[in-house]
């Protein structure tokens, strides 16, 4: 399986600092990917990290590649919430490039489930 993962580098999760939140997201996602034998795909060779931090940049790169990938992995709905509510049409387009959207941490937020 091949997947792309997203880390929100501007959010504080569970009262952690931003640096700790980034580490939490990255470690959780990498552990999940390893256990499920998911290979990380890097679309842009000039990208500094193996993951994306800007959904618009990911969408741009996906449109250039014109490929469907197995999965898009992110830590929780909370890390994508701002993008989903601000750009619902772009979220739908982003989702169309993946067979499966995987949120590592499940949360019971009925409002966001309606949008997703």
Q: Are 103 and 70 in contact (CB under 8 A)?
A: no
Domain span including residue 94: 2-115
Is residue 81 scored above 80 in pLDDT?
yes
Confidence of residue 110 (pLDDT cuts 50, 70, 90): very low
Residue 108 clears pLDDT 60, i.e. is over it = no
Q: How far is CA 11 from the centre of its chain?
A: 13
Structure tokens at 24: 């939490």
Number of domains in the chain: 1
What span, in angstroms and rounded, lies between the C-alpha atoms of 43 and 65?
Answer: 8
pLDDT of residue 116: 54
């Amino acid at each position: 399986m091949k997947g792309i993962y997203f880390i929100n580098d501007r959010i504080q999760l569970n009262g952690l600092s931003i640096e700790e939140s980034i580490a939490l997201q990255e470690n959780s996602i990498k552990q999940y990917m390893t256990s499920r034998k998911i290979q990380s795909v890097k679309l842009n060779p000039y990208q500094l990290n193996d993951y994306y931090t800007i959904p618009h940049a990911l969408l741009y790169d996906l449109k250039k590649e014109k490929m469907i990938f197995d999965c898009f992995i992110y830590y929780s709905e909370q890390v994508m919430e701002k993008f989903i509510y601000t750009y619902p049409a772009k979220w739908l387009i982003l989702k169309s490039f993946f067979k499966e959207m995987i949120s590592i941490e499940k949360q019971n937020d009925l409002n966001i489930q309606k949008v997703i």
